Structure 1
Amino acid sequence: MTISPDLSMAATAIGGALAAYLLLGEPWLGRRVYASLACRRATEPGALVRYFTFTIVAWWAFAALTVAVLLLSPGTSAADLGVAAPDDLTFAVPLVLLCSVAAALSGRHFRDLAEEGKHVPGRAAIAAMLPRTARERRFAMAAAVTDGVCAELVYRGLLIAFGVGALGLPLYAAAALSLAVYALAGWYQGGTGIVVFGLFGTLLTGLYLASGSLLVPVVVHVALSARDLTIPAPEAPCAEGGTA
């Protein structure tokens, strides 16, 4: 995979501001907002819907800024931000199917564990955002799709292109930098969250670099986010979420 983004001054300013926010602001704000949700979840019926609404609006705004970076840079193509078909469909399609099946099977296993009252790996860290009603589940699915599409476009597409085009980094160095920024976004789950996001981001970054397209990591990201947000909520989400 090779990219050669040529960012204009305006695009560099927008991309730099967004990158700075993702590095310095997003970890702090994400932790603060999630902690607030965890404390209000049990007493405010609409807290989770408001949380998902805020998240969805924010991420689509970031995606719009990413599109603005592309439109303001005549020397940059959509493919430089990963918006292109995979280089090799014979590699991409089976990989997407395999990951989707793995997400479905592991999701079924997690739900079985929850129904049996057993420990579900990772559930405590996201307990406050697990839906309980049909309305909450609809918003959760919308958030999962938004997370998969927008996070990949911003973290993988924009940040890697910004690292190459604005900072002059080699492709893999730019990818490593974007991965570090993405890992910090997991701070709302504590130190373990940073590690989990780092491992998950490594998978997604590898899929992007191997396929040359954001389509592959987007599908995998959506599948795994949807899996996590369909895990049955525990009995006391506020207590568990507050310790995340």
Structure 2
Amino acid sequence: MTGLPASLADFGPAALAAVVVAAYLVVGEPVVGQVLHRRFEGRLRTDSGARRSFYRRLLVLEWGLAVLALAVWLSAPGVDAAAVGLRWPQERPGPLAAVLVVVVLLLVVASTRQLRAGALLETARPARRPGEGRHAEPPGHSTLALLPRTDRERRLFTVVGLTAGVCEEWLYRGFFLAVVAATAGGAPTAVLVAVAAVAFGLAHAYQGRAGIITTGVLGGVMAVLYLDTGSLLLPVLLHALIDLRFLLVPASALPGQAPGAQETAGG
């Protein structure tokens, strides 16, 4: 269990900034995600570079938020590295955490197969109306729309997946839970896990109700693993693995390439 802050006073002069950043993660990030994704889907119909542009925006946003949270933490005199998970694991995962990780990995394998099957089914559908383009996924297929089609997109997507593992675990587990614990004054572990799950699920609101539930559950599992080991290391590795699994879906199984991109598509 991490030595989480017991009071906002531990953040000292950075207390207000810490609360503001944490509140943004819960309230602002879902809105920004929705806006960025809608713009991305709009550009996807006509711009072959839409995915690369979207990936770059994600990198700027996630690293920007991570650095901001890091700066706030560095300004908090009473919150040490252990309180935000920036240390090596202090204990092995307990039985509950170990079981949850195994279940998540099994679900990841199953969902990857299902995603590939869904992509193949989508490629078999009739072409869309003129002007929409074969690469424009229908509403609700946000995950398929985000998957890389070309070698350049796959390389950039790899960076995005690694970034998500590092930045999102730091933001939603290390930093966010430290602020929640300090604000609540020693909340029980179950409450911290629930709050982490809800916040992480809402951050993926652009994926729809099913996406919120799925990522919320994953967020809760990551929180259990973090609080159990006292370190962000294992959650970061698991998170990156979950995101990078999308690279196992070959471009040939995805619905259509962007105009002019077929010659660089990876298989």
TM-score by length of 1: 0.82
CA distance in 2, matches of 1:50, 1:82: 32
Structure 1 residue corresponding to 2:82, chosen from 76, 79, 82: 79
> Are 2:20 and 1:14 equivalent residues in the alignment?
no
- Report the Cα distance in structure 2 between the residues aligned to 1:183 and 1:113, rounded to whole angstroms: 25
- Among 214, 222, 228, the residue aligned to 2:240: 222
CA–CA distance in structure 2, aligned partners of residues 90 and 124 of structure 1: 35
**Equivalent residue, structure 2, for 1:242:** none
Please state how far the C-alpha of 1:155 moved relative to its aligned partner: 0.3
Q: Does 1:24 align with 2:27?
A: yes
The answer as to 2:198 corresponding to 1:180 is yes
- Residue type matched to 1:226 in 2? L
**How far is the alpha carbon of 1:104 from its aligned partner?**
8.4
- Please tell me whether the aligned partners of residues 183 and 198 of structure 1 are also in contact (alpha carbons under 8 angstroms): yes
| Alignment partners' CA distance in 2, 1:50 and 1:60 | 16
How many aligned positions are there?
234
**1:43 shift after superposition:** 1.5
Classify 1:183/1:237 alpha carbon distance in 2 versus 1 (closer, same or farther; 3 Å): farther
Contact 1:87 1:212 in 2 (8 A): yes
- The superposition leaves residues 78-112 of structure 1 with CA deviations (integer Å, 9 ceiling, x where unpaired) of 110011111235879x88x9689758855874586
Partner of 1:198: 216
Cross-structure match for 1:134: 151
Alpha-carbon shift at residue 192 of structure 1 (Å): 1.4
What residue number does 1:213 align with? Answer: 231
Shift of 1:130: 0.8
Q: Which residue number in structure 2 is paired with residue 3 of structure 1?
A: 3
Change in Cα spacing, 1:35 to 1:90, as seen in structure 2 (3 Å) is closer
Distance 2:210 2:112 in 1: 24
Code of the residue aligned with 2:245 in structure 1: it is: R
* Alignment partner, residue 136 of structure 2: none
RMSD: 3.1
Asked if 1 retains the 8 angstrom alpha-carbon contact of 2:2 and 2:82, the reply is: no
Partner of 1:241: none
Partner SS for 1:62: helix
2:197 and 2:217 in contact (8 A); partners too = no
Q: What secondary structure does 1:217 align onto?
A: helix
- The answer (yes or no) to whether the contact 2:10–2:79 under 8 Å persists in 1 is yes
Give, in angstroms, the shift of residue 166 of structure 1: 3.3
Determine if contact 1:27/1:188 at 8 Å carries over to the other structure.
Answer: yes
Query: Separation in 1 of the partners of 2:175 and 2:46?
Result: 39
Matched residues in 2 for 1:11 and 1:204: separation? 26
CA distance in 2, matches of 1:145, 1:106: 21
What TM-score do you get using the length of structure 2 for normalisation?
A: 0.76
Q: Does 1:51 align with 2:27?
A: no
Q: 1:3 to 1:207 in 2, by over 3 A?
A: same
CA distance in 2, matches of 1:131, 1:90: 34
The whole-number CA distance in structure 2 between the counterparts of 1:145 and 1:108 is 18
Query: Which consecutive unaligned segments of at least 5 residues does structure 2 have?
Result: 123-139, 259-267
Instruction: State which structure, 1 or 2, has the greater radius of gyration over its C-alpha atoms.
Output: 2
CA apart distance, 1:164 = 1.4
The question of whether the paired residues in 2 share the 8 Å contact of 1:84 and 1:213 is answered with yes
CA contact (8 A) 1:12 1:166 kept: no
Q: Distance in 1 between matches of 2:110 and 2:197?
A: 25
Cα separation, 2, equivalents of 1:147 and 1:230: 17
The amino acid that maps onto 1:79 is A
Question: Which secondary structure does the structure 1 equivalent of 2:90 belong to?
Answer: coil
Where does residue 150 of structure 1 map in the other structure? 167
Superposition deviation, residue 40 in structure 1: 1.6
What's the % identity of the aligned pairs?
A: 31
